[in-house]
Structure 1
């Protein structure tokens, strides 16, 4: 999940590499786009506030660049900002959007453009809703609605250090993203240091976005309960504290029923009683940027080499048929 610090870093230090690049001449863009689309996307124009019904539409679907069809936003991240322009809290992918400092009109803002074709989309501001705190204020004319073929779902699990849990679920076919963070505590927007104190009540968790047509919630539960020790209270190996508790935070009644069912299914295979919490999900706070993709970014770090690598190797052997192709090759 991107936050304001990530946006500023991209704007000042360089944007993420796009999946592809689309380049056309001004004449080609004029021939393809309506005059208003051309004015906004290629000449950095701004549409009139409240001029599009897109502001008040929140049905499932996705939003792509009107110029190059690159997927930019999902309706799950859309919210009513009251500004008169469609607003989102996150892009569909980290590299979908590029960011540039905009000093026009006596203001210092961050412009957002399509990272594929350079189309001007709007601006991003740090006054959006939790947990990201971002508001992508977009020109509706720069976007085109695309009906979603699959509705993605979310799962939130805690099983000790989130570096381990993240590394495991990132390998699974059907999982589109894994974000490390904190949940089920009392303090809003906690820091890692505060969570580690054990005084905030939070657990280290991962929030998983997955395609239920490729992997079921039940299978995610089975993998969760068999890749950490769900029988030890407030600890995983040498990691001790309430922040390392085994937990399943359910997003709806169906997930709760499935969690209780899978726990009952797994229990006969274990000598000790499963102590995993099953509680309703409330709020998720993404961990600091350096915690995200931790194992992939730091495979040689001491904890990663000694603890995560052996655990990951065991997991890959046990669930080989569930892995993404890239993970199978590793």
Structure 2
């Protein structure tokens, strides 16, 4: 999660590298864009406050740069700032936005640009909601809404190396990230979470296409691939950071979680103790935790703990696997 100190660092010492760079002349952009979009994005203009209905649109989806189509923001990070311009708390990726110091009009501000094509989007301020405290104040005309069927689910069931390895194999799952949620401090480190003092659980954030796999099925798989009857423990991993938990984003998800737990109780002799709690924020774990199993398959923990879990998972949920994952684990060593 980016915070104000990160924005200042980028604006001062250099921005992250974009995935790609698109360069055109103003004449070329002018042929592609509507006049107001050209004025704002290429000539660094500002649209009139409250001039776009985008300020009051909060449906699921994503927002892309009107010039080059690069994805910039997710509707889940959009909030009502009362300023008259669409406002977001975070970009979709750390390198989606470039930051420049802007000293125009007798003020010192941080300008936000598309990191792909250098389109002027707006400015970033440090008066947004916690935990990031950021407000990306964007010109609506610089953005275009992109419809998306992608949804997100967040839950934990022990070491996130295991849970990430499992859910990466599922049909309909587009991305899995390991991280932390449910604790008392912002941007916790792995060492802090492992101390058990922050209250965070090791969790995964699953991005999935709801047309291909349902939230309920994700929860059934979650409750079937760890032991939801042992409080604050999964095998040899002991502590609140290893608790079984489902973090819901809305009341519909909460109700579904309650129904699936009641349904799955018949599978277990002991009571299911999985916590159901509202998601406040998902903090992405350090880079070396991401894709841990795929990057470290010969490591002892992967061989002894994750491999057997994956083999059992493949047998139980063969019909849910991506087409290229249906082979038995043993064929992969």
Per the alignment, do residues 49 and 155 of structure 1 end up closer, same or farther by CA in structure 2, a change over 3 Å counting? same
- Retained in 2: the 8 A contact 1:77–1:89? yes
Q: Which aligned pairs between 1:308-323 and structure 2 lie closer than 5 A? A: 309-310=306-307, 313-314=310-311, 317-318=314-315, 319-323=317-321
* Structure 2: gaps (5+ residues): none
How many residues are matched? 324
**Aligned residue number for residue 100 of structure 2:** 101
**Matched-pair contact (CA < 8 Å) for 1:248–1:279:** yes
Q: What's the offset of the Cα at 1:29?
A: 1.3
1:27-49, Cα deviation, whole Å (9 max, x unpaired): 22112223332222122333344
Q: How does 1:66-215 map to 2 (within 5 A)?
A: 66-95=66-95, 97-105=96-104, 109-146=109-146, 148=147, 150=149, 152-185=150-183, 187-189=184-186, 191-192=188-189, 193-215=191-213
Q: 2:228 aligns with which of 214, 230, 247?
A: 230
Corresponding residue SS for 1:29: helix
Q: Note the 1:240-319 alignment, pairs <5 A.
A: 240-270=238-268, 272-290=269-287, 293=290, 295=292, 299=296, 305-306=302-303, 309-310=306-307, 313-314=310-311, 317-318=314-315, 319=317
Aligned equivalents of 1:135, 1:39: Cα separation in 2: 23
1:313 deviates by 3.9
Instruction: Tell me the CA shift for residue 294 of structure 1.
Output: 5.3
How far, CA to CA, are the matches of 2:256 and 2:15 in structure 1? 44
Is 1:219 aligned with 2:220?
Answer: no
SS in 2 for 1:124: strand
SS at match of 1:24: coil
SS in 2 for 1:206: strand
Q: CA deviation at 1:327?
A: 5.8
Q: Which runs of 5+ in 1 are unaligned?
A: none
Of 212-221 and 317-326, the range deviating more from structure 2: 317-326
CA distance in 2 between counterparts of 1:6 and 1:306 reads: 37
**Corresponding residue for residue 47 of structure 1:** 47
Once residues 60 and 74 of structure 1 are traced to their aligned partners in structure 2, the CA distance between those partners, rounded to angstroms, is: 8
Residues 129-149 of structure 1 show CA distances to partners (whole Å, capped at 9, x for unaligned) of 234433222122212334x25
Which piece of structure 1 moves more, 8-17 or 278-287?
8-17
Q: Distance in 2 between matches of 1:129 and 1:222?
A: 33
Instruction: State the Cα deviation string for residues 295-315 of structure 1 (Å, max 9, x = none).
Output: 168527957645565256426
How far is 1:286 from its partner?
A: 1.0
Query: After superposition, what is the alpha-carbon deviation per residue over 1:149-168, rounded to whole angstroms, capped at 9, x for unaligned?
Result: 53x43322120122332333
Following the alignment from structure 1 to structure 2, what is the Cα–Cα distance between the partners of residues 315 and 4?
A: 44
**Once superposed, what is the RMSD of the aligned Cα atoms?**
3.6
